[in-house]
Amino acid sequence: MLPRSADPDCAGPRRVRDPVGMDELRWTGPQGHDALAEDPTGTGSGRLERPLLVVAFRGLFDASGSATASIEWLAGKFGHETVGEIDPETFFDFTQERPVLFIDEDGERRLRWPRNEVVVAETPADQRDLLMVSGIEPHLRWRTFAQTLTEVVHRTGVETVVTLGSMVGMAPHTRPPAVTGSSTNEQLADRLGLDRPSYQGPTGVVGVLHDTLDRAGIPVISLRVSVPHYVPDTPNPKATRALLRWFEQVSGVDTAYAELDTAAADWQRHVDAAVAGDDELILYVRRLEEQADQTEELMPSGDDLAAELEAFLREQGRGRQD
């Protein structure tokens, strides 16, 4: 867990420069500096308990908002605190993602800029702490953005990064959403029974981040859920539940995903009612169901994925020490 710091240098926002001269990360308070600063012993362990970094962005890989909704769910379930912000000036085209004027609780006129925040979630004592980065996919300087997140990993002792995504696909709303897990790390993929990525073509910032982390030797896992392409824009708690379920399987962190059962069932009833009024769509959904029923599970089965991840990371740690 994260102890409170009495360091007077942590009293206000503070920037930290990384080894390549970037100045993109801003601490937002004393807990931020205490949580994210390098471990004074030089071991890189920091003050977090075996931390994972979880990442999702609004944009291309957030169909129905299911990926970012998963991070919002996790932040809502645990005690959490925003400990850092990534400076938007470097990464956003403000003609594409404009700042917003609003009136605050005191009646003051304020300006809210697009941003990506670093949040610490305090999990139960026997589980991994979570650092989470969620917000808007940046428009500019993706390599610099990925390097900034890589530096967050180094400064906090993060052991593994998990990216969450949701994409439209040939998925019937009546079936459990298909989740695909993959890793570019051959040993990790083999250990957990995950796919090795085979996609070739245009990518988003998550693809750039995966490449940057892979080159830095940081294990990264991708979890992606497929949402029905005929209802891509409405919130989909059924898909969010599926992502959270598999994140729990991989990480060992209790996500309480079953609490979304009622919301998922309500969502399906609403879509059922909409589909019922369109004979062509009814036939189309039936064809998708037949295809889905013939498709093998895309994620490995079993409850021991988190244990396998732990074993893999222990072996990696021993290898670095040797």
Average pLDDT over residues 183-192: 84
pLDDT of residue 209: 93
Tokens of 147: 């390097």
Cα separation, 103 vs 129, whole angstroms: 35
Q: Give the domain 8-101+108-321 fold.
A: Rossmann fold (3.40.50)
Average pLDDT, the chain: 81
Question: What would you measure as the largest C-alpha separation in the chain, in angstroms?
Answer: 67
Cβ neighbour number for residue 56 with a 10 Å cutoff = 28
pLDDT of residue 13: 39
User: Domain segments of the chain: what residues?
Assistant: 8-101+108-321
The closest alpha carbon to 119, from 219, 242, 238, 31, belongs to 31
Look at 18-22, 50-54, 100-104, 231-235 and tell me which has the smallest mean pLDDT.
18-22
Average pLDDT over residues 239-261: 93
Cα separation, 257 vs 277, whole angstroms: 31
pTM: 0.81
Average pLDDT over residues 217-234: 90
Q: Which residue has the higher pLDDT, 298 or 112?
A: 112
pLDDT of residue 32: 46
Q: What is the pLDDT of residues 269-317, one digit of tens each?
A: 999 998 998 888 899 999 988 888 877 555 555 556 667 667 766 776 6
pLDDT interval class at 319 (50, 70, 90): low
Instruction: Locate the DSSP E strands across the chain.
Output: 14-16, 25-27, 52-58, 79-86, 100-103, 109-112, 116-122, 130-136, 160-169, 179-182, 220-228
Please check whether residue 84 is in contact with residue 28, taking contact to mean a CB–CB distance below 8 angstroms.
yes
φ/ψ (deg, to 5) at 75 = -65, -35
Q: How long is the chain?
A: 322
pLDDT interval class at 138 (50, 70, 90): very high
Q: Which residue has the higher pLDDT, 233 or 253?
A: 253
